[in-house]
Structure 1
Amino acid sequence: MRELNLRLCRMKVTFGSLVIVAGICGILSFAFLATSLGTDYWYIIKMNPVNTSDFEDMSSRSGLWTIHEGGKMHTGSIDSFKADYSRYSETEVHMLNMHSAIVVVLPLSLVLLLFGGICGLVSSLARSPVLLTSTACYFFICSLLTLSGVSLYIIYSYQALAETERLVGPEGLAHVHTSFGWSLGMAWLSYGLELLTGALLLIAAKMLKRQHSSPAMA
């Protein structure tokens, strides 16, 4: 019992710093996801220098809504909501549906993160284990949405590349290098920080529960 009381005293000292760290992680997760959604380095296509005389302007980088190709920005080139589905094959329609899901899920996760930060602030100030646990679960749901959106984008990109290879043949892509950009990396960082925020809030809730139950145990 004495050892338990000593541990509880230590928990009281660290509760404030724990929720502060959780708050910082939550803010960073929101900032990283917002930066990711607002930038156009999700997918990068580069041409091999061997063919620069013919294809120097075909290198491109793309975001969720825009494509920068040859120094020009094309804003409506991947607008899946305004696309005429009757002009596309079944595979292309499936990819358009995936893109529509991506551009809904990821911004929704960003909005939910904003409300999650407010809930986290209220629950930490109220020092309520129930509110802290609920907020932790809320951040886990946000992380699941972010993970779903990012995973869908990766699948969508690979399917788009496979469809392009089917149309132009392997030779047509022999001098093309494709890679995911740092915008996608920022989304992954946001996902990790969302999980960390939820875990820290969950630990804080358990700390408070032990503190509230200690007088009865004593």
Structure 2
Amino acid sequence: MGLPHLFLLARLCGILSFSFLASAIGTDYWYILEVAERGPGNSSQGPPGDLNSHSGLWRICEGMHRVFVVVLPLSLILLVFGWICGLISSLSESFQLLLLTGSFFLLGGAMTLSGISVYISYSQAAFSEIGQMYDQKHFQQVHISFGWSMALAWLSFTTEVTCGCLFLLSAQMLHSQPPGIL
């Protein structure tokens, strides 16, 4: 695979990563709470579907004091700067700019991974705290899962790291070939 194809693939990964993360941040299907059908001994009113819920980053984070609310959009900003830097570095075929671009994407991937990890930990801790406040029998019919917004964030992380590695590989290929040869 030549450098032009590698540059194109890296830029495509960057665009995909941005799209995945922007969609993940903007949607409300990070955390899904489903209540199963209740047994005959339960006296709660209403169908169980009324208690089903889903939430995203913005519903859970009133007041914007959670770290993942800062880290994930910051990762999105790094993706934009990384993509611009990647476009410039691939057009100029600059070894140093390609290294910087690869580092941008790897740093963005690390920030995305951090944001996802903190969100998962926070969600687990919040559910555990609620479980300690109330009787556990109230939560026997509750099923909690992470939704497709979380899957998009993981896809973004994967494509960010892939993009960073592709830019670093292209820098290594550019550095190892004689000058003037594409």
Say yes or no: TM over 0.5: yes
1:113 equivalenced with 2:101 (yes/no): no
The residue aligned with 1:23 is 11
The residue aligned with 2:50 is 57
Structure 2 contact 89–97 (Cα < 8 Å) conserved: yes
Q: 1:46 aligns with which of 17, 34, 38?
A: 34
Structure 2 contact 61–69 (Cα < 8 Å) conserved: no
Structure 2: how far apart are the matches of 1:134 and 1:80? 34
Structure 1: how far apart are the matches of 2:169 and 2:68? 32
CA distance 1:133–1:78, shift in 2 (3 Å): closer
The one-letter code matched in structure 2 to 1:211 is Q
Per-residue deviation at 1:164? 1.1
Per-residue deviation at 1:112? 1.1
- Segments of 5+ residues of structure 1 without an aligned counterpart are 1-12, 67-76, 82-96
Q: Deviations over 1:15-34 (max 9, x none)?
A: 10001000000000000000
Structure 2 contact 116–153 (Cα < 8 Å) conserved: yes
Secondary structure in 1 matching 2:33:
strand
Q: Relative contact order (alpha carbons < 8 A, sep ≥ 6): 1 or 2 greater? A: 2
Secondary structure in 2 matching 1:212:
coil
Over the aligned positions, Cα root-mean-square deviation in angstroms equals: 1.9
- Segments of 5+ residues of structure 2 without an aligned counterpart are none
The residue aligned with 1:5 is none
Per-residue deviation at 1:56? 3.5
The residue aligned with 1:167 is 133
Structure 2 contact 86–101 (Cα < 8 Å) conserved: yes
Question: Which structure has the larger Rg over C-alpha atoms?
Answer: 1
Per-residue deviation at 1:214? 9.7
Aligned pairs (5 A) from 1:14-163:
14-50=2-38, 53-54=45-46, 55-66=48-59, 78-81=61-64, 97=65, 100-163=66-129
Secondary structure in 2 matching 1:80:
helix
Per-residue deviation at 1:49? 1.7
Aligned residues: 176
Per-residue deviation at 1:80? 3.1
Q: Deviations over 1:100-140 (max 9, x none)?
A: 21101101110110111000000000001111011101111
Structure 2: how far apart are the matches of 1:174 and 1:63? 23
Secondary structure in 2 matching 1:50:
coil
Q: TM-score, normalised by structure 1?
A: 0.76
Per-residue deviation at 1:169? 2.1
The one-letter code matched in structure 1 to 2:174 is L
